[in-house]
Structure 1
Amino acid sequence: MYAIVEIAGKQFKVTQDQYIYAPKLEGDAGASLEFDKVLLIDNDGAVEVGTPVVEGAKVNAEVLEHVKGEKVLVFKKKRRKGYKKKNGHRQQFTKILIKGISK
């Protein structure tokens, strides 16, 4: 059984006992979350597609920790002008454990 759920504006394909990294969410480590924007549910071949969401479907999850992603370097340069600028960025994510999918 799997579901496609919208979390913080992004869509994820989730199954039970799966870890995902979503954009940073509110809540401390150990807090439980419930997502009700379920777009699709597949229960062993019985696919139910929402219009736009499946009514009564929910995904329960638990916040494990807040982490940072890999560093992305941004380098700007204009040739022959002596202009160079180097910047870095690390995106913040929330590691989530999917507890269950209910209909």
Structure 2
Amino acid sequence: MFAIVSIAGQQFKVRKNDELFVHRLEGNAGDKIEFSDVLMTGNEGNIKFAGSAKVQAEIIDHLKGDKVIVFKKKRRKGYQKSNGHRQYLTKIKINDIA
């Protein structure tokens, strides 16, 4: 069984026992969370859209992603600017799709 769920503004295809990285969520490591914004569920070819399904997950850890370098340059003008960014992420584990 799988579900397409919206988590923190992004859509993910999840199955039971999947671990994934999402944008930072409220809560501490070990907390149980529930997502009710399920867009679609499927089970062996049977697809249901926008049902009353819920996805239950557990927060495993809070961490930061890899550094992304943003480099801006205008040629022949002597303009260069470098900037870096690390996204705050939360690792979650899907426990159940009900």
Which residue, out of 63, 70, 74, partners 1:74? 70
| Residue in structure 2 matched with residue 42 of structure 1 by the alignment | 42
Instruction: Tell me, in whole angstroms, the C-alpha distance in 1 between the residues paired with 2:12 and 2:75.
Output: 42
TM-score norm. by structure 1 comes to 0.89
- SS of the counterpart of 2:69? strand
Consecutive unaligned residues of structure 1, counting only runs of 5 or more, are none
Instruction: Tell me, in whole angstroms, the C-alpha distance in 2 between the residues paired with 1:38 and 1:83.
Output: 47
Question: Which amino acid counterpart does residue 95 of structure 1 have in structure 2?
Answer: K
Please give the root-mean-square deviation of Cα atoms over the aligned residues, in Å: 1.0
Q: Give the alignment of 1:1-20 within 5 angstroms.
A: 1-20=1-20
Instruction: Tell me, in whole angstroms, the C-alpha distance in 1 between the residues paired with 2:44 and 2:75.
Output: 58
Question: Which amino acid counterpart does residue 37 of structure 2 have in structure 1?
Answer: K
Equivalent pairs: percent with the same residue?
Answer: 54
Which residue, out of 79, 82, 88, partners 2:84? 88
Instruction: Tell me, in whole angstroms, the C-alpha distance in 2 between the residues paired with 1:25 and 1:32.
Output: 12
Length, aligned pairs only: 98
| Residue in structure 2 matched with residue 24 of structure 1 by the alignment | 24
Following TM superposition, where does structure 1 have runs of at least 4 consecutive aligned residues deviating by more than 6 angstroms? none
> Larger deviation: 40-49 or 18-27?
40-49
1:11-60 residue CA offsets vs partner (Å, 9 max, x unmatched) = 1000000001111110110111000011111122221112xxx12x1100
Instruction: Tell me, in whole angstroms, the C-alpha distance in 1 between the residues paired with 2:22 and 2:95.
Output: 15
